[in-house]
Structure 1
Amino acid sequence: MRQIVATFCALLFSIALFAQGNDPILGKWENPSGEGRIEIYKKNNKYFGKLYWIKESSKKDVKNPNPDLRSRNIQGTEILTNFTKNGKTYEGGEIYDPKSGKTYSCKMTLKGDDKLDIRGFIGISLIGRSETWKRIK
């Protein structure tokens, strides 16, 4: 009986490691200025990211185009939405910029284990802005 339980636990551990290896984007990332930290997670086969920490934790989303959301805290806001995985690139999603209140098309590309290139754009990806986030270990 103990051997069966040990085998079952080992199998569950292996499955968890395998699942994590398939989604290397999952986890916590920091923007280049160090002002914000984003946690990327998966729900319903799509990838999302939430600002789980910002330097000014009480800062409000005052530039949001929706007046009903302007009184919410920026910390805790989902800023990455609806990405799908395509190799090392995650595309088809959007990024919300709380500094401007604007939402842009976005693609993210993993660069090794600890860097994530973020490209926000309007229309085509040639017209946009990029930055590199680093993984928080």
Structure 2
Amino acid sequence: MSRILLVFFLFSFSGFSQGVLGKWKTVNAKDGESKCIVEIYEKEGKVFGKIIEILNPEDKNAICTKCTGEDKDKPILGFELIKNMTKSGKYYKNGTIFDPENGKEYKCRLALTEDPNVLQVRGYISFLYATQYWVREN
């Protein structure tokens, strides 16, 4: 019986400890379409996210034509769109998220929902915001 409890505890703890790190399928709030897989990872104590897979075969070789500076005309695949997030309670914030489709950068907040396999991704301009819910990829 104690082994069963130990196994249950280990599975429960491993699911809880996953947090926001890992692979996430983006889901567009407007049309429900999934466009890519983003890997969220930690680097030097901060959280970042980059595009590791583009789901539409026609967009696999897309470049960031609306980007500026050093990111101008770089491939979308491998693009680091979430930068410098720090943990604050149940949220990750104080960083940014970039939308390669419109070339705009937004303040960002990340949080797991009640379901640890759903990530709330919120981009802000001043007090206005847009929210997407991304789904964990296994």
Q: Could you tell me which amino acid in structure 2 is paired with residue 109 of structure 1?
A: A
The alpha-carbon deviation at position 86 of structure 1 amounts to 1.9
CA contact 2:67–2:73 (8 Å) conserved in 1: no
Number of residue pairs aligned between Structure 1 and Structure 2 = 118
The alpha-carbon deviation at position 37 of structure 1 amounts to 0.7
Structure 2: runs of 5+ lacking an equivalent? 1-9, 28-32
Distance 1:20 1:110 in 2: 12
Q: RMSD in angstroms over aligned alpha carbons?
A: 1.9
The corresponding residue for 1:10 is none
The corresponding residue for 2:24 is 29
Distance 1:36 1:134 in 2: 11
- Answering whether residue 54 of structure 2 is matched by residue 59 of structure 1, we say no
The corresponding residue for 1:42 is 42
Percent same amino acid among aligned pairs?
33
Deviations along 1:1-22, one digit per CA (max 9) or x if unpaired, are: xxxxxxxxxxxxx9xxx89954
Deviations along 1:63-90, one digit per CA (max 9) or x if unpaired, are: 0122x53221011000000011123211
Compare CA radii of gyration and give the structure with the larger one.
1
Structure number with greater CO (CA < 8 Å, separation at least 6) is: 2
Distance 2:73 2:15 in 1: 36
Runs of 4+ in 1 over 3 A off after TM superposition: 18-23
TM-score normalized with structure 2 length? 0.78
TM-score normalized with structure 1 length? 0.78
The corresponding residue for 2:136 is 135
Structure 1: runs of 5+ lacking an equivalent? 1-13
